[in-house]
Structure 1
Amino acid sequence: MRNQLRIGTRASLLAVTQSTWVKIQIESTCPGTQVELVKITTKGDRILDVPLAKVGGKGLFVKEIEDALLAGAIDLAVHSMKDVPTELPEGLHIGIIPARETPCDAFLSTRYASVEELPTGACIGTSSLRRKAQLATLRPDLTILDLRGNVDTRLRKLEEGEFDAIILAGAGLHRLGKTDKITTLLTPEQMLPAIGQGALGIELRETDTELLAGLQFLHHRATAVTVAAERAFLLRLEGGCQVPIGAHATLSGDQITLTGLIAAVDGSIVLKEHITGSAREAAALGTALAESLLSKGGKAILDAVYCTGS
């Protein structure tokens, strides 16, 4: 391993916390290596007054970091996998995927114990079309409002009474040491997670084979296999992280089970199926599941989303 490494990361508290965890793992496993964090502001971080789904484009939280990687300004990048587009710039790859945190969404409220307990007309906040669509199916009587900002900003808005409840990724709250803020975790059956939610990805230059070998101790096969199935599903749907698509894969022995979802933003249509097969066929299973949902009305749903930009 090299004596010095530079990790590119978003400047948000969660991103820095995630990258700091990687830094600690490297420095403790490779005592002769010093790791520096290089904080980079992305387009998604700069635009805070517009719902992400209306900003458009893919890679809102990774492009500037990837540019720095290609330019040699950093040696590796740490991303939340749910932010990473399925198609990467030439010369880069996600070489390492550590063990996944919980993939589940978290329900947070200062007054109510669950989504079911919210009164009619209650205001619930989320910036995700995937969450909005599934909430609209679970509770069509709720008022679903956009919620942007970092985790602390979102928690403050909840605590100040701006929302009756909010939905955040459970993994981020766990990593920030804010598990006590979670009222309950929503099961994948209640709300299917985003593709790659809870997983980190370490992006490298393809030519850095020695660095890739040195970081293998961080790689977690089961997480990599399940994320590969989910991302193949997303790739076939040509979706980004801001469309009403969800997927969640689990591994049992050598068998992988993948559940996928395409939904209308208003929750009026929800297409959901699962597929099971060999872990060796993870990507093929993701593609097959996407084809099935597209043929059953998913294409029309996604066309409508892309045309309206909502």
Structure 2
Amino acid sequence: ERTPEGKAADGAAFSPWSTSLRTSGRATPVCSSAGAGAALYCAVAGTGTARIDPADGRVVWSDRNTALRDASAPIVSGGVVLSAGPDGKLRAYDPVKGVPVRETGLSASPGSAFPAGSTLLTVADGGTVTALDGASGVERWERPLTGHTRPDFGLYDEASGLAYAFEHAPTGTSTVVTAVDPGSGRAAWQRRLDGILTPVATAGGGELVLTEMNADMQTVGLVRYAPQKRAAVRIALPFRLDEPEVVMGGDAAYLLGRGGSLLAVDTGTPAGGKAELWRLETGVGRGSAPVLGEG
């Protein structure tokens, strides 16, 4: 994380760095972060799972798992780092030492495990949702999610403690969205909203922000939904984006598309008003979600 003055989040000067991880074939590392710049965890065929110091790019530890294939980004849950192994199991590592502490067999793909606080949510092919304790791997509950056939989880909101499941209708005209308590599996609310939507963030007042796609799976708009009012505000984007990463800052949504286009949109704009705040072409081929700095 950097401020506009080129300082790190803690006020120290930031020095750019580059780190190469050993890869197999054309594999590309996939990474996730934990804490406020505390650690960066990556997985890639040829290296396996690794922890990188975000301050200087130093590889703190690596499991050297050369057999890893089709890696997904590691998950941090319950105080451990979880990564899919080549044997179809979810492997947990001590985040400091990098030592494997346990393995968990899943009825779903390990890469589909979704972190919701200290709980991991997985969805089997039949649509059954299983919740596991992130620290121990012990099952907390298992049940079908009412109103869904094969849901996906797209967002966990730490402030409310809710995870958001979604499922697109086969016709491509609507999406069922369910706010789930990951501790109990109970649904706080469920709505069917028009459009091909994916929950990506929350805004003030517990409102949900979703991306809206067209039939070609390009993102063409945002939807800000207030569940208590059952009201949806739709914001059209000035141009289409492919697989954007989205982060919220107040009412502003920042979208970084796969081709490097960075777009800032005001989701609180009254109907008919101009939503675009600014745009920038970054040249980034496939970046991670934008990070908001100070200033």
Pick the TM interval, shorter chain: under 0.3
TM score, norm. by length of structure 1 = 0.26
Larger helix proportion, structure 1 or 2?
1
Which structure has the higher relative contact order (CA within 8 Å, separation 6+)?
Answer: 1
Larger strand percent: 2
- The TM-score, its normalising length taken from structure 2, stands at 0.27
